[in-house]
Amino acid sequence: MSKLEDIVSLCKRRGFIFPGSAVYDGMAGTWDFGPLGVALKRNIMNAWWGYWVDQRDDMYGVDAAIIMNPRTWEASGHVATFADPLVECKECHGRFRADKLVEGATESITTDEFLQADVKCPTCGKQDWSEIRKFNMMFQTHVGPIEDDEHVAYLRPETAQGIFTNFRNVVDTIYPDLPFGLAQQGKAFRNEISPRDFILRDRECSQMEIEYFVRPEDWEKQFEQLRAGQHDFLENVIGLPAEMIHELEVPEEDRAHYSKRTIDFMFDYPNGEEELMGLAYRTDFDLSNIQRESGKSMEYRDKMTGESFVPHVIEPSIGVERLFLAVLSSAYCEEESRVVLRLPENLAPYRYCVSPLLKNKPELVEKAREVYELLKSKYTFVTWDDSGNIGKRYKKQDEIGTPKCVVVDFEGLENGTVTVRDRDTTEQVRVKIEEL
């Protein structure tokens, strides 16, 4: 098994992530988070919110509706350009992204360029292709009971537009000084043709995005500050090893239609280097489009000088699932006698596991319960485990990344101590209960 398969298997076995709708034979490109996955995911999302919003004076939160007026996606360019170049094999009717079958190709590949590349169908090996067709990746639905063009709506393909469309509301209600940022966490949907690589390329994902509004002449300085902040967050708050993160300056022909500069932060995932997050300078593209489409002013008026202008925007954007998998794959370790998730303490689903040495000795159970209640009131993320023998419990807690296992034994009953086992070193020390 590859390392990614090992991680997928651990996630299923220990209740982090299950294949979506598994009871009905699954639903491609969807995944469900189980009890431990939810805990880890929330800890990651809260760490992000704490770092970027709560601890700063220049960031504010919004939480916009997922279904937005479809004019949003016309103004943003998604209706016209959020599309993949698809080819179909006339033999087996398999559909593929043309740009993924030709080495070095971009999304703007033409049918001629594709045919010249002499590609064989990955499924049946034949070479009989359709023209390239653009396939829009937005999920379409209808609002209300009438299914006609007038009532078309989309599940949002990015959270960013929910921020831009609230720019005016926020400026007019809390009067923030420039530069300032609006942050949002929430689901976004993409009708991926070929979902793959576990949660890396799925059809719905949770995004964490900031739109940071700046003076046009300040964008380079602010871009550099946000870039440094991303490294600080990923390495010092989330605990990803710096050497597994690589910056990729995205060349102009590969950048999204709105961006003047983009750096992709790449990560060494088990199956190779993949995008972890993006940092993009979106200029005034979005606010100016909204201003034109809505007829409402998106200008910011400087309180000191009275000068009015449409702010420019820098956008750090990160997918929760991508970050989740980066955390798991850098924490996952197979050792001779065990599998261990070396999760940072602030992200681990549980900080402590408490158990009695033996579960059939009421005096041990009673004392262990006391210790459990004490730790729970102090640290919240504490679990109880009296299943199997102590070795099995350690094995399980190692696999779910619990940093410390606390055990109440007979010696402890006499002198008010417990043993504390460290996940990473497996060493045990005896500690007074009041010193936990």
Region near Zn ion per CB under 5 A, out of 88-96, 308-316, 374-382, 408-416 = 88-96
**224 with 128: CB under 8 angstroms?**
no
- CB-count exposure of residue 79 (10 Å: 0-12, 13-18, 19+): middle
The one-character DSSP state at 237 is: I
Binding Zn ion (rule: CB under 5 A), the pick from 10, 27, 66, 92 is 92
89 contributes a contact to Zn ion by CB under 5 A = yes
Separation of alpha carbons 48 and 39, rounded Å: 14
22 contributes a contact to Zn ion by CB under 5 A = no
Report the nearest approach of Zn ion to the CB of residue 130 (Å). 11
Separation of alpha carbons 23 and 26, rounded Å: 7
The gap from C-alpha 290 to its chain's centroid, in whole angstroms, comes to 27
Task: List residues bridging with 102 in a β-sheet.
Answer: none
Region near Zn ion per CB under 5 A, out of 84-92, 177-185, 223-231, 400-408 = 84-92
Report the nearest approach of Zn ion to the CB of residue 55 (Å). 53
Closest of 373, 361, 423 to residue 393, by C-alpha? 423
Nearer to Zn ion, 92 or 137 (CB): 92
Report the nearest approach of Zn ion to the CB of residue 134 (Å). 21
Closest of 101, 103, 108, 66 to residue 87, by C-alpha? 101
Nearer to Zn ion, 67 or 124 (CB): 124
Report the nearest approach of Zn ion to the CB of residue 131 (Å). 16
Report the nearest approach of Zn ion to the CB of residue 93 (Å). 7
User: What is the token pair recorded at 107?
Assistant: 């999304």
Binding-site size for Zn ion (CB under 5 A) equals 7
What Cα–Cα distance (Å) separates residue 222 from each residue in 170, 247, 265? Answer: 21, 17, 17
Site string (104-143) toward Zn ion, x via CB under 5 A: -----------------x-xx-------------------
Nearer to Zn ion, 88 or 284 (CB): 88
Closest of 244, 323, 242 to residue 49, by C-alpha? 323
Binding Zn ion (rule: CB under 5 A), the pick from 91, 113, 204, 293 is 91
Q: Which residues bind Zn ion (CB under 5 A)?
A: 89, 91-92, 94, 121, 123-124
